[in-house]
Amino acid sequence: MRLFFLVLSFNFMLSLDAQNVNPNLIRTKIYDTIFQDINKQSFAYPNKRIVIDPSINKFDDFKMNEFGIKLDSVKYVQDLSFCSKISGYKCVSKFEIDTYTITNVYKNEEEALYPDFYGIYAPIDSWYNLIYYAAVNHFEKDKTFQFNVLIPVRNVQMKNRMMKEQMFFYNFLLDERFKILKFEKLFLKP
């Protein structure tokens, strides 16, 4: 009988511990949503190339004190382990996204032969919010909240034999269960 209660309590503790949120799972869900949206956009450019800047902020420790949650010792790192968990993307540095260009080498060929490039920048401040709210979820189980994740994207295409560049943002609204309530694409005004 004691063994039964021991196993039952162990199972209960595991299920409570499994409710802690891993920010990489949320990032994967966000990037998968972006990937699906990009693939639905333009069928005139079937040669899509989607890259991600895997920079994230990592904290040595987080604590709850009388003033709230404190995140200690931030480091900005390239999380390449995260890149192996997502499909359809290639992880590159921010510099590679900034410097990507298309040259008109095919001359009179169809524009569909050129790559349709999407460089997804790492939103360091939004990843900070994600980590912060994951810690809030860990310490304050009953608290309800909503927060935004704003992700900048650089799109490079060949149109009318000229390279065209466009910047836009994906804005995600998430709740305390880290469910995506809404996402929208925001364009910069010309």
> Which tens digits make up the pLDDT trace of 62-74?
777 777 777 777 7
- How far apart CA 22 and CA 25 sit, in angstroms, is 6
Specify the amino acid at residue 43: F
pLDDT > 80? residue 53 = yes
pTM of the full structure? 0.78
Give the three-class secondary structure for 168.
strand
**Mean pLDDT for the stretch of residues 148-153:** 93
pLDDT > 80? residue 36 = yes
Span between the terminal Cα atoms of the chain, in Å: 72
- How far apart CA 73 and CA 57 sit, in angstroms, is 10
> Which tens digits make up the pLDDT trace of 100-132?
988 776 666 677 778 889 999 988 888 878 878
Interaxial angle between packed helices 23-41 and 124-139, expressed in degrees from 0 to 180 and rounded to the nearest 10: 130
